[in-house]
Structure 1
Amino acid sequence: MQQNNNKNNKNPSISLHNTHVKLLAFDLLTLTPPSSPDQPFTRKSIPITRLEALGTITLRDQKPSKFLCFAVDDGTGCIPCILWLNHLTSPHMARRRSPQDLCLLADADARSAEVVKVGAVARVRGRVMAFKGSVQITVTDVVGERDPNVEILHWVDCVKSARNCYNLITFSSSS
């Protein structure tokens, strides 16, 4: 998190831009939708652009060489996720990345797709996006978890962060 010190403001604002915010599904699914496609979702007027979630994979639908849709259930709800697998065939990506970068991204995403199995516990990180008016995570990486305590620890982190940080932040648009 980045802290912006403003001498005129007694409560310094903390920016969560490009920070993987730990949220439970019930918080994520109640984010305020963006007013326009280029704006982020918000939580109590705080823009949320990236997220880290952890839970059990409950749904998996793959279109080979295109994308993998899946859902992560953390006990408070299901988080819809999409992992793009078309880096090597997408004209959009070809314009924005070098061929070497595209190969690295494609390999990393293929490894992430192997982790996504129904019933597996996984940690997912990615961008919070809108699709057909609903929130979803555009996944950047997936890591399988084997520790049986990891879900409880994630819950504690989410609750602690919400109580001590996310619920206290006063967002300043001047930063």
Structure 2
Amino acid sequence: MQAATMDSVEESPSMLWGLDPIFSAFAKLYVRDILNMTESTQVPGIYFYNSRPIFKVDVLGTVVSKRERNDFFCYGVDDGTGVINCLCWKNDLLREEGAPTKSGGTHSDGAQGGFNPVAELEKLRQAQQSRCHLEIGELLRVRGPVKTSRQQREITASVYYKVNDPVMAVQIAWMMEVPQLYRECYDKPFLLQHDAMGNLATTPLNKATHVIMDFVKQKSVSRFRPYDVQDLLQPLISSKPQTASAAQEPVACPSSGQQLRQLLKEALQILQDEGVLYRKVKSQEEVYHVTAEDKDLFMAVKDVIREDSKREKYAERGCHVLHILSAVRQRYSLNLSKTALELVLKSLECNSDIISTSENHYTLF
């Protein structure tokens, strides 16, 4: 992924940054992109990746350098795309590493056979040290805000710990998750349109998707055809012809009917990409099924998990989401998307019909 550069004139107003959910989250970005992000000219310490405001990141990588001071560790972390310094402050237990922790003989004899707070504190300090004191070559996860110090980009850790990953399960899961986040979120620009008064404006496409969703909720429909909602989008189409400033003659542009059909097509595609809608069968007669209202789909997913969880291969961890997707496509609909299935799985888990045994694995409750 290449970091997106942006000019200061393209920055959205700082008071609107909170509208982007990434702004409040720890963004799982590649180190290369963190190093190449553009710093905001409005608020120091805020950076932009592809027009998205970011100040907190989440990084997993190997320690390739290490410096220790009385109050902090400075680890150089390499995730395969670059190396970034991570400033990891010691807590009180680590600062007291060199302090004596054994009590006098009288107190030790009195605590024998009972609870010894000094001994327990020593155990806690040792556990903390084993997780926070890393050596070169060990795996470190760091979460915290990004800052620029002495013209170098670094992370000030709010949370950091050593990751024990003997079979590389954590690293493999990370390598599968991060590219998906880039595709579905980070690489999609954060766009805010404003009207002449500077107020936040909603595009016709955003309005169209909301109109369709309102129709689905109000009518409680499980499926519909495009012509069922087409007329509802008519008010979003401008009927005024564009004119040239000199001749004041209409400029050739798509008719209102063409604009309406194009708007409907794009809105339906967005809802399909989000998994809200899907087409069970692709034919000339376009029928869109509402994922959350398709009881037969929910039953098909539960049947797959119920039957396959009994097999020895899936008995321990449950069924992987990709296996469930493949099975449901064979039994129910070849056109079911992964995003639609994930919405179904989340709904079933919220209703306690299924549980996730680990990331992307599900079994019956």
TM over 0.5: yes
**1:129 corresponding residue in structure 2:** 147
Candidates 82, 86, 92, aligned match of 2:87: 82
Q: Which residue of 2 aligns with 1:146?
A: 164
RMSD: 2.8
The within-5 A match list for 1:97-116 is: 111=129, 114-116=132-134
Return the offset for 1:86.
7.8
More helix per residue: 1 or 2? 2
In the alignment of these two chains, the number of paired residues is 142
Contact 1:83 1:113 in 2 (8 A): no
Distance 1:154 1:83 in 2: 22
**What is the TM-score normalised by the length of structure 2?**
0.35
Question: Following superposition, which runs of at least 4 residues in structure 1 exceed 6 angstroms of deviation?
Answer: none
- Alignment of 1:69 onto 2:89: no
SS at match of 2:136: coil
Question: C-alpha separation between the residues in 1 aligned to 2:44 and 2:131?
Answer: 28
More strand by share: 1
Query: Which stretch of the first structure deviates more once superposed, 36-45 or 135-144?
Result: 36-45
Q: Distance in 2 between matches of 1:50 and 1:160?
A: 19
Deviation at 1:162, TM superposition (A): 0.8
Q: Distance in 2 between matches of 1:136 and 1:151?
A: 22
1:18 and 1:51, CA in 2 relative to 1: closer, same or farther beyond 3 A?
A: same
Query: Percent same amino acid at aligned positions?
Result: 27
Q: Which has the higher contact order (CA 8 A, sep 6+)?
A: 1
Equivalent residues of 1:126, 1:138 under 8 A apart: yes
Which letter maps to 2:50?
Answer: K
1:156 aligns with 2:156: no
CA shift for structure 1 position 139: 0.3
Deviations 1:27-47 (A, max 9, x none): 111111233663401111211
Q: Which amino acid aligns with 2:51?
A: S
CA, structure 1 residues 28+39, in 2 after alignment: closer, same or farther (shift >3 Å)? closer
Which secondary structure does the structure 2 equivalent of 1:20 belong to?
Answer: coil
The alignment partner of 1:29 has SS state of helix
Q: Which residue of 2 aligns with 1:29?
A: 35
Q: 1:169 to 1:77 in 2, by over 3 A?
A: same
The residue number in structure 2 matching 1:91 is none
8 Å contact from structure 1 (residues 115, 142) kept in 2:
no
Aligned AA for 2:47? F
The 8 Å contact of residues 22 and 157 in structure 1, kept in 2 or not, is answered as no
CA distance in 2, matches of 1:118, 1:162: 29
CA separation in 2, counterparts of 1:141 and 1:127?
10
Preserved CA contact (<8 Å) 1:112 1:143: no
**2:190 counterpart residue number:** 170
Q: CA deviation at 1:152?
A: 2.5
Structure 1 unmatched runs, 5+: 1-12, 88-106
Structure 1 window deviating more from structure 2 (127-136 vs 158-167): it is 127-136
Per-residue CA deviations over 1:32-70 (Å, capped at 9, x if unaligned) read 123366340111121111111001111110111x22111
Partner secondary structure for residue 158 of structure 2: strand
1:45 matched to 2:65? The reply is no
